[in-house]
Structures are given as structure tokens and as C-alpha cells.
Chain A
Amino acid sequence: MQPGQNQQMLCAAEMLEGIELPNGWKVLAKMPKSATGGCFSIPYFVERQNGKHKQTAFLKALNFRRILNEVDITKAMERHTKAFNFEKETLELCRDKKLSRIAILIDSGQYTARNSPWPVAYIIFELAKGGDARKQLATLKKFDLAWTLRTLHQISVGLNQLHHGGIAHQDLKPSNILFFEAFGAKITDLGCADTLDKPSLSPRGREPIPGDPNYAPPELIYGDISLDWKIRRLGCDYYLLGNLVMFFLTHGGSFNAVFHAKVDPQHRPLNWPHDYRSVLPYLNNAFEETLDEIKGTLPTSIQKKIIEILRWLCHPDPKLRGHPKDISQLHGNQFNLQRITSALDLLATKAEYGVLEY
């Protein structure tokens, strides 16, 4: 079979609607693709009778047909099955460690359809009724400072939980933030994650930019890959969190976009064939100008603190990311999110009590 020959064929993963899986889950309808962010898996709504209640969830099935379309099938098969298993195992780890701000893995398994030559592997997550961050913001009628700051605090807590578990997310972006009724925000999609236990052995770990390049930190865009796991992986997460701060405060904008616009064209990645260190002074300057511009657009009551937080999270030099006290302490942990999480918590609490004006 040649690549592309099976364009018209459907595989079992694409025909799960209406099927009852061996572990009691009934597959309902397909979900819109965007919510998952992956091209090699197909998302479905599923439900199961849980005592008197019906539990709804979402299922992610590995799409072999897309894999078969790849030029090198064996390599593609290896890559995607590895990624699928990695995500499943990492989620199991999160569940075992009771990481409350990470979308929970409810179940996993495989299903063999009657006429299908291969089984369909799947994982089942809890369903976020609020959708992802973009959808959630779209439903909000006006800017709510307290809600925004609390959400950022919740995401920071989630990321901190992952980091404490030795997991770097690396693809933290609006579509990977899910909203649950009453509980608030949770982080999902660990497909691009990397673990401290097995550094760079994760399926996407060897790629220079594991996640969405639109949000990626500048050092990765310029191809500067640190040998230090924390600087490379956690530094990336910090930057991505900074992007989310901007996303929630501007209802959709990314820090990267404002920053990129401030970098002189002669110093942009496509015009800079030298090492990252040599372009860094110009990026530092653009970074300061970015902060100046953002500062002018923020409510006065949070201006100072948010700029400080953005400086801690998004500094173009990954060695300078993190809270200054954590960086300067002799045995401090540069990538300890605790201080930043606390700062966001304090801001959120103040906003909830109406102390902050906007």
C-alpha cells in the first residue's frame, strides 16, 4: 500500500460512534477537533452509568489511518504509539500523585472492531464543560479581573504541581487550559511533556520546539537548546505561562506577538544566523520595550505586579527567568513557581475582595 492510497478508507478509530466499549463507556458523538490539539487522535464524547448518575467524559482514540499516510510508516507508527503511551503513562503518574489541577485520566484501553484488522487504543479524560480558555473567554461578557487573576493562579498551581512531579509540560497554551464547572482551570494535553526521570526520552523531547511554536520561548525559536534540563524545559514552561498571563489579561493576545513586534527585523530569527547569546542584548532591549507597552495597557492597580511577574516569567534569557530571590540564593531553585503562584494568589484574593480597582 502506498502512502496516501488509503485516503478514502476509514479506520476503526473514526467509526466509534455508538459503540459500547468493554469497560462500560458508550461512545457518543465526535468532538470538534480543536479541543484536543492533536492531528493523530480522534476525540469523542463518551458516557458511562456511574451509580445513579451518568458520567460524561471525552475519549481520545489513536488514528492509525493518519499514521499510515506518513511517508515512513514504521517510524511514524513508532513515534505516534510512543507519544500515545507516553501521554497515558504521564497522566497515570499525575493521577497517582493526585495532581488536582491536571485534567484527570479516567480510563484507558483498547477496542477491536469486528471487521478491523487492528484494535483502537484510547484514553478517556474528564470532560471540561467550559471548554478551553478561548471558549471560556468568549462566553464572558466583560473583563472580570478577579476571575482572570484566580484563573491564572489556578494554572500556576497546576504547572507547579507538574514541576514538583518532575514533569515539564512544554505546550501550555490557551487550547490546553480546560475549564470545569466550580473547580476552575485545569491543564491538559501532556503529549509534548518531558520528564526529569527520563530526560529527552519523551516522544517530543528530542524536538527543538516540542509544542506550538507560536508561543515558544525565543531561545527555542533561535535554536538555542540548553543542556540543562531545567533551563530548557522548565524555562520553556515559564515563558508559556507568561504568554497565558497576557492571553487572559488581553482576551486573546500573546506575549510573544507583542514581543516579536518589538524585535527589530534585522534581529529576528530568520535574519540572525549567529548564536543566541549574540542576539540576546537586542532581545533584552525589545523585552523592556514590550513590558513598557504592556504596562500602559494594564489597570493601574495591578500594573506593577503583573509587569514584575511577566519579567520573572518571560525574560528572553532563560537563565534570568524565575523569581529574583530564587535565582540569587546560593542553593535556591530558580524554577520554583511557589513565589509566583503566591503573588498571583494574593492579587486574585485582593481582586475578589474588591481591593483592586480597574
Chain B
Amino acid sequence: MAADNENSERQVIPQWRTFKDALAKDELASPSTRQPKGIDPSPFIQEKESDWKANKALPFALDLVSAAVVFDIKTPVAIEAAEFLLASGDRVHSIGVKLAKSVLGIHEAVAIEKPPQSRIQIVTALKQQKAKRINQPRNAFVWTDLARLYTILGQLSQAQTAIKIALALEPNERFVIRSAVRFLHHIKAHDEALHLLRRNPKTIEDPWLLAAETAASAAAQTDPKFAKTGLLFLERHDINPFHISELASAMATQEMRAGKHRHSNKLFAQSLYRPTQNALAQAVWATKLAGLADINPELLLRAKASEAITLDYYNRGAWKELIEAADKWAKEEGFSARPFGIASSIASSLLEKAQLGEEIADNGLKINPGNSVLLNNKAFAQALQNKVDSATKTLLEVDLESVNPQSKVCLLATTGLVCFRSGKGAEGRLLYEKAISSTNDPVLKTLASLYLASEDAALGNKAAFAEFKKAFIAAQKLKTTNIPAIAEHIAPRIQHMAAQHGIQLDLIKENKPFRFEGDFLDFNKKKLIT
């Protein structure tokens, strides 16, 4: 049985971008809308203008242009001086040419840096970053970016060292702390992540860190410490809505979990005024759970929120599209196992592409070696292809001590499947039954029951058809998950087998292709997004 974790918890854990990407997405700006008082440089600019007019020589021109750049002032005289510099050709220093172009608004074409995707690209980027680290040993952002690359390559101890250095250099900086928190979650050190946020004096002053603290508290299964401060932030009018989007989203998730759906939906709506990609992904994830309307896919595409787009396809049952979107998401957030988990699960369970499922899980394991979800999905895909020896080998790689209860259920069920496919039906049944009895989660119970009945039915066990019908009916009740889709996907095959045994199941009367019906939650139309 494949695991994707997308039916259970998602927290607004900070996304780990490169420093440049975080800058470009305005995530490192001041949340405040207050504007500090500026300096009036005009008397000094005027003096330089008159000096330039009186002398008309290169140093005077460049001196004026430099001053114009420092204060972002474009007076006609400064423009004239900039033009003079550009017309002077080789006599002007290259820095002078650049400054003059800046005053004239001539921007040189800069090649758009794409995040490294292939392993070779990542290794090359790592090499460059290591060289940068030698030149800029006190730049915390260089160390953080280096840690990210190490994490993508699965070199976690090197990543940890780099993160520690970054934190030592800038212990109170938003980007460094959020990246460190994301890294600690990646290595499952949830308590350490929470500790880092709670002991930091900046956390109560920064909505981005408050959001991370709320999410980290949920991940560490404890209550957030600064919930009141967070609520006060959400009420403030001098804060740019973009900067409290994740905080609203994290608090909305907390309220949703507490069953306070009205307040939660209000907070989700607030998180979408000017959403971050993370808040969008959270809202999409929560649509079914919180009873929100679906979010307009156009809005997601505009925001280029690859995770949100993937989750949206997941919600809408657009499985083929989901595989593509997850690939994009994996490239953006290269170190995360989640896009690989969801894509490998869907490819094997719903697209009949077990081979693709195995490949995706394998790719994810290169970055996240030993990840139990990915190992489970790989073994599941291998078992579906009847590669039972490989599947057994894959399952043996799992470190059972570090596996969470949910993954344990999936692993038991997958081992059961491997037994079924290797001709050990009785053992397989026992393992499935153990998986079903070991959890109270209706999602896992139903899914395991569906697969058990399906495998039993394939062996010609007539009682299995009735069991499948029972599980199928139970699956239909789990509307907020993808279990009904999986049940409906398996049902025609079981129905066909049942008919061969002269049993009428009446599970699916006709093939219902997916079509989204209903209203989108288009905050743009409601003028909530500015």
C-alpha cells in the first residue's frame, strides 16, 4: 500500500529557498508599512551639479552620477553627466559606465538563474558555493545556501555543520533561522527546531518566525507558545498582508485541528489576501478538510506555487497533471521527500504505472536515503510489477526504529502485498490484518482493507468480494481524502473478477471521468488580493 502523507498533516513549515530566491520573493523585507524619515541630499547634489557644470570633466561627472545613484535621484543634470560618461568611451572606468547606465535606467540583461536540477548541476553549484564560502567566510547566507545544497545531495552532516556556522554568524536573522528550522524538520529534529525558535528573541517580533513557531509546535505535537502575540500581529494595520500570510495560515491550521472551523476559515481567508506560496499550498491542502471552496487554479498558476498546484491536482483527482507538477515541485524544493512521495504513490496506485512509481521513489531516495515513505512506495511499486525479490530487498532497507506509526501501517501492508505476490497468501493476509488492527486511522484502515480484499479476490477467494464491497462503501465516506478515488480505481477490476465467479457487485455503474463542479475560491475576484 503506497503512502503519501497528503491525507494527514501538513504544517506551514518554512520553505527553504536560496537566499536570492527569498530576496526576489520579498520574503526578507520589513513587514512594517511604516516609512522611516529620509535625508534631504538636495543641497549636496546641487553643489555637485554646479561643480560639474563649471568643470565638465570626467571625475566631476562620475562624482555627480555616484551621488545620484546613492540617493536614487535622477535630475536632468545628473542624466546629462551620465550621458557624458557613456559618450567618453574607454576613458571611463567600467564601474563608472555601470553607474552611468544605472542613472539612465539602462539595465544589462542578466541571465535568469535556474535552480540546479540534475545531480551534475547540483554538484557544480556546490563546488561554486564552496569557493564562495572561502571568499566570504563571514557571510551567513553563503553558508545557508551551502547547507541547502548539501541537504539536496543527502550529505546531512556537512549540511548540519554549515547551518551551525550560519546560525553562529547570524543568530537572529529571519532567513537563516527559517532555513535552519526547515533543515531540522528535514532531519526530524522537531523539538530542536522548536527550541531554536522559542529561545530566539526575534521570534516574538517577526510574523515569519511566529508562523514557523506555530507550525513547529504542531510538528512537535505541542501548543504554540506565542499564539496570543500571533493573533495581535494579525490584527495590526501597519503590517503588510503578505508578511502575515504564513502566520494566518499556520494559526488557521491550528484552529482547524481544534475543530474551530469558522475561525479557521476566516484565518485561511486572511492568509490569502496576499499569499505566499507556502500559504497557498496550505490553503489548497486544507480545502477539503476545512470545508473551504476550491482555490482558483489560475491564481495558483499565476503565483507559480508548484506545491499548491500539485496539491490542487491531488484534490481534483487530476493524476497525470499531478505527476508533472510534483516533478516541478521536487526541482524547486530539491531536498523534500514529499513531492516524490505523492507522485510515486499516485503513479502506482492510480495510474497503473508502477514502473514510473518505482523510478520516482528511487529518485527521491537519492536525496532522502532511508526515507521510509519512499522505501515503502518503491517496494509497493516493485511488488505491483511482481518483482518480489527486489521489493523484499527494498523493505529490508527500512530502519524500523525511526518509522512513525502511520508509515509502519503502510509498511506492514506492503509486506503483506509482497507475500501475496510471492505466493504466500496466508502470511500476506495476516500482515494486512495486523496493519488494519494496528491503527485507528480510518483512512489507513480502509485503504489496507481495500488492498487486502483486492489481493484475496485475485487469489479467487469468494468471501473477498463481499469484503471489498464493505471497504468500498467505507471508502466513499472518506470524502476529504483520495481513498474514494483509489477504491473506484480498483473496483472495475474486482467487479470483473466477481462477475467471472457469478457474483454481482454493482459498485460502479459507469466510468465517471473527473470533472470539477462548483465554485472556485477566487479571492482575486473578491478583491482580497491586491
Q: Are B95 and A250 in contact (CB under 8 A)?
A: yes
When each residue 258-275 of chain A gets 1 if its CB lies under 8 Å from chain B and 0 otherwise, what string results? 101100101111111110
Is B93 at the interface (CB under 8 A from chain A)?
yes
Stretch at the interface among A46-54, A112-120, A129-137, A153-161: A129-137
Nearest B-chain residue to A35, judged by Cβ: B51
Known: A257-B99, A274-B30. A133 touches B59 (CB 8 A): yes
Q: Are B35 and A257 in contact (CB under 8 A)?
A: no
Q: Are A251 and B58 in contact (CB under 8 A)?
A: yes
Cβ-defined partner of A33 (8 Å) among B35, B43, B50: B50
Q: Are B96 and A251 in contact (CB under 8 A)?
A: yes
Q: Are B95 and A253 in contact (CB under 8 A)?
A: yes
Chain B interface main SS type? helix
Cβ-defined partner of B19 (8 Å) among A34, A37, A250, A285: A285
Q: Give every chain A residue within 8 A of B61 (Cβ-Cβ).
A: 252
Is A212 at the interface (CB under 8 A from chain B)?
yes
Nearest A-chain residue to B50, judged by Cβ: A34
Q: In the docked arrangement, what's the CA distance between A273 and B65, Å?
A: 27
Question: Looking at A214, A269, A273, A282, which has the most chain B CB atoms within 10 Å of its CB?
Answer: A214
Q: Are B141 and A281 in contact (CB under 8 A)?
A: yes
Nearest A-chain residue to B27, judged by Cβ: A266
Q: Are B50 and A138 in contact (CB under 8 A)?
A: no
Q: In the docked arrangement, what's the CA distance between A252 and B94, Å?
A: 11
Cβ-defined partner of A270 (8 Å) among B38, B51, B67: B38
Q: Give every chain A residue within 8 A of B63 (Cβ-Cβ).
A: 134, 174, 247, 252, 254
Within 8 A of A (CB), among B15-39: 19, 23, 26, 28-30, 32, 34-36, 38-39
Q: Are A256 and B70 in contact (CB under 8 A)?
A: yes
Is B8 at the interface (CB under 8 A from chain A)?
no
Q: Give every chain B residue within 8 A of A174 (Cβ-Cβ).
A: 59, 63
Q: Give every chain A residue within 8 A of B23 (Cβ-Cβ).
A: 264, 266
Q: Are A37 and B70 in contact (CB under 8 A)?
A: no
Q: Are A213 and B44 in contact (CB under 8 A)?
A: yes
Known: A134-B63, A285-B19. A266 touches B57 (CB 8 A): no
Known: A138-B59, A257-B69. A39 touches B43 (CB 8 A): yes
Q: Are A253 and B30 in contact (CB under 8 A)?
A: no
Stretch at the interface among B131-139, B190-198, B297-305, B457-465: B131-139
Q: Are B19 and A261 in contact (CB under 8 A)?
A: no
Q: Give every chain B residue within 8 A of A281 (Cβ-Cβ).
A: 140-141, 170, 173, 175-176
Known: A254-B66, A256-B70, A260-B70. A269 touches B36 (CB 8 A): yes
When each residue 189-218 of chain B gets 1 if its CB lies under 8 Å from chain A and 0 otherwise, what string results? 000000000000010000000000000000
Is A74 at the interface (CB under 8 A from chain B)?
no
Known: A34-B54, A209-B39, A271-B29. A261 touches B59 (CB 8 A): no
Is B41 at the interface (CB under 8 A from chain A)?
yes
Nearest A-chain residue to B141, judged by Cβ: A285
Q: Are B138 and A270 in contact (CB under 8 A)?
A: no
Q: Give every chain A residue within 8 A of B44 (Cβ-Cβ).
A: 212-214
Q: Are A32 and B54 in contact (CB under 8 A)?
A: yes
Q: Give every chain A residue within 8 A of B62 (Cβ-Cβ).
A: 250-253
Q: Are A297 and B94 in contact (CB under 8 A)?
A: yes
Is A327 at the interface (CB under 8 A from chain B)?
no
Cβ-defined partner of B93 (8 Å) among A223, A250, A288: A250
Cβ-defined partner of A257 (8 Å) among B45, B47, B67: B67
Measured CB to CB, the closest approach of chain B to A83, in angstroms, equals 15
Within 8 A of A (CB), among B234-277: none
Q: Are A266 and B28 in contact (CB under 8 A)?
A: yes
Chain A interface main SS type? helix
Q: How many A residues face the partner with a CB closer than 8 A?
A: 51
Known: A212-B44, A269-B38, A273-B35. A134 touches B59 (CB 8 A): yes
Nearest B-chain residue to A259, judged by Cβ: B70
Q: Are A273 and B66 in contact (CB under 8 A)?
A: no
Is B155 at the interface (CB under 8 A from chain A)?
no
Q: Give every chain B residue within 8 A of A271 (Cβ-Cβ).
A: 29-30, 35
Q: In the docked arrangement, what's the CA distance between A286 and B311, Å?
A: 37
Q: Are A261 and B66 in contact (CB under 8 A)?
A: no
Measured CB to CB, the closest approach of chain A to B167, in angstroms, equals 12
When each residue 265-309 of chain A gets 1 if its CB lies under 8 Å from chain B and 0 otherwise, what string results? 011111111100010011011001000111001000000000000
Is B385 at the interface (CB under 8 A from chain A)?
no
Measured CB to CB, the closest approach of chain B to A102, in angstroms, equals 22
Is B121 at the interface (CB under 8 A from chain A)?
no
Measured CB to CB, the closest approach of chain B to A247, in angstroms, equals 8
Nearest A-chain residue to B71, judged by Cβ: A214
Q: Are B135 and A292 in contact (CB under 8 A)?
A: yes
Measured CB to CB, the closest approach of chain B to A274, in angstroms, equals 6
Is A221 at the interface (CB under 8 A from chain B)?
yes
Q: Give every chain A residue within 8 A of B129 (Cβ-Cβ).
A: none
Q: In the docked arrangement, what's the CA distance between A336 and B90, Å?
A: 38
Q: Are B93 and A251 in contact (CB under 8 A)?
A: yes
Known: A37-B47, A214-B67, A252-B63. A272 touches B41 (CB 8 A): no
When each residue 70-103 of chain B gets 1 if its CB lies under 8 Å from chain A and 0 otherwise, what string results? 1110000000000000000000111110110010
Cβ-defined partner of A138 (8 Å) among B38, B58, B172: B58
Measured CB to CB, the closest approach of chain A to B22, in angstroms, equals 10
Q: In the docked arrangement, what's the CA distance between A260 and B98, Å?
A: 13
Is B319 at the interface (CB under 8 A from chain A)?
no
Q: In the docked arrangement, what's the CA distance between A52 and B59, Å?
A: 38
Measured CB to CB, the closest approach of chain A to B363, in angstroms, equals 33
Known: A251-B62, A273-B30. A288 touches B136 (CB 8 A): yes
Is A175 at the interface (CB under 8 A from chain B)?
yes
Question: Looking at A212, A251, A257, A282, which has the most chain B CB atoms within 10 Å of its CB?
Answer: A257
Known: A39-B43, A138-B55. A273 touches B38 (CB 8 A): no
Q: Are B41 and A213 in contact (CB under 8 A)?
A: yes
Measured CB to CB, the closest approach of chain A to B129, in angstroms, equals 13
Q: Give every chain B residue within 8 A of A294 (Cβ-Cβ).
A: 95
Measured CB to CB, the closest approach of chain A to B146, in angstroms, equals 14
Nearest A-chain residue to B96, judged by Cβ: A253
Measured CB to CB, the closest approach of chain A to B138, in angstroms, equals 7
Q: Are A134 and B57 in contact (CB under 8 A)?
A: yes
Is B60 at the interface (CB under 8 A from chain A)?
yes
Nearest B-chain residue to A294, judged by Cβ: B95
Question: Looking at B32, B57, B92, which has the most chain A CB atoms within 10 Å of its CB?
Answer: B57
Q: Give every chain A residue within 8 A of B102 (Cβ-Cβ).
A: 261
Q: In the docked arrangement, what's the CA distance between A260 and B135, Å?
A: 21
Q: In the docked arrangement, what's the CA distance between A251 and B57, Å?
A: 11
Q: Give every chain B residue within 8 A of A257 (Cβ-Cβ).
A: 65-67, 69-70, 99
Q: Give every chain A residue within 8 A of B71 (Cβ-Cβ).
A: 213-214
Nearest B-chain residue to A315, judged by Cβ: B138
Q: In the docked arrangement, what's the CA distance between A293 and B135, Å?
A: 13
Q: Can you name 10 A-B residue pairings with CB atoms under 8 Å?
A: A32-B54, A134-B55, A137-B58, A252-B93, A253-B99, A257-B70, A258-B98, A258-B99, A273-B30, A297-B94
Apart from A249-B93, A250-B95, A252-B58, list 5 A-B contacts with CB within 8 A: A138-B55, A250-B62, A253-B95, A266-B26, A269-B39
10 residue pairs, one from A and one from B, having the closest CB atoms? A252-B62, A138-B57, A266-B29, A257-B66, A252-B59, A254-B66, A214-B67, A250-B93, A257-B69, A134-B59
